[in-house]
Amino acid sequence: MTVVVDVWHTPVLMDIATGRAFQVGAPCSHELVGWRSWLVIVAAALLSVLVRLRMLWSPVSVDEGGYLAIARGWSHGQVLYRDVFVDRPQGLLALFRVWDWVSGGSTGSIRIMAMLFGAILVVATGVVVREVAGGAAAGLAAIICAVVSAAPVLEGYAANTELLSGAVAAAGLAVGVVASRKGRPLMWFYGAGVLAGAALSLKQSGFDGLLALLMSLTLTVVFAPRLRATALKAGAALVGGLATVIALLMVHGAVTGWSRWWAAVAGYRLRTQSAFASAEWLNLASTVPYAIVVLGTSALLAVLGVEAAAHGLRTRLRDTIAPGPIILLLWFLAAAGGFLIGGGFWRHYWLLLAAPLSALAGVGLAQLPKLRTAALLAALTPCLAITVWVYAGDTSHLNIRAAGDHRAKIDELVARWFASHRRTGQNLYVLCASAGAYADAHQDPGYPYLWFVEVRHAPNAQRRLVAYLRDQRHGPEFVAEYERVSTCDPSGEVERVLRASFTRVASVGPVTMLERTAPSPAPRTPSSAPVTDPP
């Protein structure tokens, strides 16, 4: 199918099936349109940075601070999944550890990481669309992705795992799509597999780019017998790159403690919170309105891209393993699967869909030359409007307006109070959870579990907490009581230890600060039972 589109007021003939574009009536038009599309993609990446810039000076989120605190503890000799626990693979903590070293320990610089990975996501999305649907569609997709993936109401400003893994997964997909056009593609597909493995090392749901490539190659194997051998070799190279990264993760897991590593990256989520156990469907319902504002119009435009994807499937399989626009639909389906299995359904989960929806919307817009500008504005205006509303607020309330995160600013205040009252060797426990406070205070966690769901549901978590609070040598000197103690430990054991061994010394906003003042009482059954390592 061939359409005429207007690229910056220049008539261009574009074949949706092949992705080639030619300026009407001009020589070397393919090169001209190609350069313009690259300029638009780069400009879109810069736009994504600018949209996030306002949040550069806002406090780090609970998740950002928790990952950073665990990475710092790891770098200081603590053992992952034993002394510090998180239900994420090692790649995420390695990334935060390296970033902390490069930035000289700057907590606020985590937002620069978010800007960098957000730009990578935009460029990768543009590259994928450019290869399969042409430069005009690529530019439009990159612009849409730049705005919606940075939306503050979806926490697009934060270095969350959805943004980080999504950017790397999209980069792997882009390499795989480019590889399909190479004369000797196997090393390119191997590289795409390595990037896919890196995405999975950041979050377990970062498989969307990999799955899209594998499904595309599978279609070639099934429907194009003449290309079957080539597609099978490409798939083998892709899986080989993935296996290289997974093998490294498994070796490190075996060295640090296989049972703990496996329980953390696989068993814990399946047992405590996923689509298969304790899924937060109310969270999903509460976040849908934000997703509609940010992604709704793009989703409508994406419907137009589906027709091009179906047409590309019929034509591409004849003579090449290059996937065509169908891979954009496969990408969206894979990302939707990652979204659904998460179980938590927090706002930032919707970032998993931002890039594939933007890609399909870009292809759809390319088929509307006369309505392109109006449709693009319609897609972006709701998102930009709510972004402006967030940024118009007072700086101290940005996190609350953006994501309803009231703890981010409180974490900073607690960290300042702790810094002014601590003595060398004294440490802090945040009861029962606000992980960002540890990063703001530059405090290595003394208790493994930094998030509420872990305190309540991880094996032996509450007994370990009682033992930690009783420990006068290694336990906390200060406790920041963010929540009622009964919320963390319904048994009453933690409450008894706190009232016997700590006293209230200050209030920091809504948080009560406690200081150790007396020897801890003798253990009482059942808390005297042996405490095992975290899962």
Whether residue 85 is contained in a domain is answered as no
Cα separation of 416 and 228, whole Å? Answer: 63
Strands (DSSP E) found in 20-97: 20-23
Residues 281 and 430 in one domain: no
Residues 359 and 321 in one domain: yes
The DSSP code for 392 is T
Q: So what's the pLDDT on residue 1?
A: 45
Residues 171 and 255 in one domain: yes
Q: So what's the pLDDT on residue 533?
A: 44
Whether residue 532 is contained in a domain is answered as no
Whether residue 99 is contained in a domain is answered as no
Cα separation of 285 and 477, whole Å? Answer: 41
Q: So what's the pLDDT on residue 40?
A: 96
Give the predicted TM-score (pTM) of the model.
0.90
- From its phi and psi, is residue 443 left (phi > 0), alpha (psi between -120 and 50) or beta? beta
Tokens of 241: 């790159």
Strands (DSSP E) found in 347-415: none
Residues 385 and 418 in one domain: no
Distances 226 to 186, 232, 241, 319 between C-alpha atoms, Å: 18, 11, 25, 8
Cα separation of 276 and 296, whole Å? Answer: 27
Contact 513, 493 (CB under 8 A): no
Q: So what's the pLDDT on residue 193?
A: 98
Whether residue 81 is contained in a domain is answered as no
* Cα 369 to the center of its chain, rounded Å: 34
pLDDT tens, per residue, the chain with 535 residues: 444 444 333 344 444 444 444 444 444 455 556 788 999 999 999 999 999 999 998 999 999 999 999 999 999 999 999 999 999 999 999 999 999 999 999 999 999 999 999 999 999 999 999 999 999 999 999 999 999 999 999 999 999 999 999 999 999 999 999 998 887 899 999 999 999 999 999 999 999 999 999 999 998 898 888 889 999 999 999 999 999 999 999 999 999 999 999 999 988 777 776 777 777 888 889 999 999 999 998 999 998 887 766 665 555 555 567 677 889 999 999 999 999 888 888 999 999 999 999 999 999 999 888 889 999 999 999 999 999 999 997 877 888 999 988 999 999 999 999 999 999 889 999 999 999 999 999 999 999 999 998 998 888 999 999 999 999 989 999 999 999 999 889 999 999 999 999 999 999 999 999 999 965 444 443 333 333 444 4
Q: Other CB atoms closer than 10 Å to residue 300's CB: what's the count?
A: 14
Q: So what's the pLDDT on residue 199?
A: 98
Q: So what's the pLDDT on residue 184?
A: 82
Whether residue 100 is contained in a domain is answered as no
Whether residue 298 is contained in a domain is answered as yes
Residues 499 and 381 in one domain: no
Residues 336 and 195 in one domain: yes
Q: So what's the pLDDT on residue 19?
A: 43
Peptide bond into 526 cis (omega under 30): yes
* Max Cα distance, the chain (Å): 89
Contact 199, 165 (CB under 8 A): yes
DSSP codes of every residue in 259-277 = HHHHIIIIIHHHHHSBTTB
Residues 374 and 423 in one domain: no
Residues 360 and 484 in one domain: no
Tokens of 258: 């296989």
Sort strands 10-15 and 20-23 into parallel, antiparallel or unpaired. antiparallel
Domain boundary pick from 364, 391, 418: 391
Q: So what's the pLDDT on residue 310?
A: 67
**Total number of domains constituting the chain:** 2
Residues 218 and 312 in one domain: yes
Domain boundary pick from 391, 418, 435: 391
Residues 371 and 467 in one domain: no
Q: So what's the pLDDT on residue 7?
A: 35
Q: So what's the pLDDT on residue 122?
A: 98
Whether residue 531 is contained in a domain is answered as no
Whether residue 86 is contained in a domain is answered as no
What is the domain extent for residue 449? 407-516
Domain boundary pick from 391, 415, 448: 391
Residues 198 and 338 in one domain: yes
Q: Could you tell me which residues come within 8 angstroms of residue 263 by beta carbon, excluding any fewer than 6 positions away?
A: 81, 535
Residues 413 and 309 in one domain: no
Q: So what's the pLDDT on residue 173?
A: 98
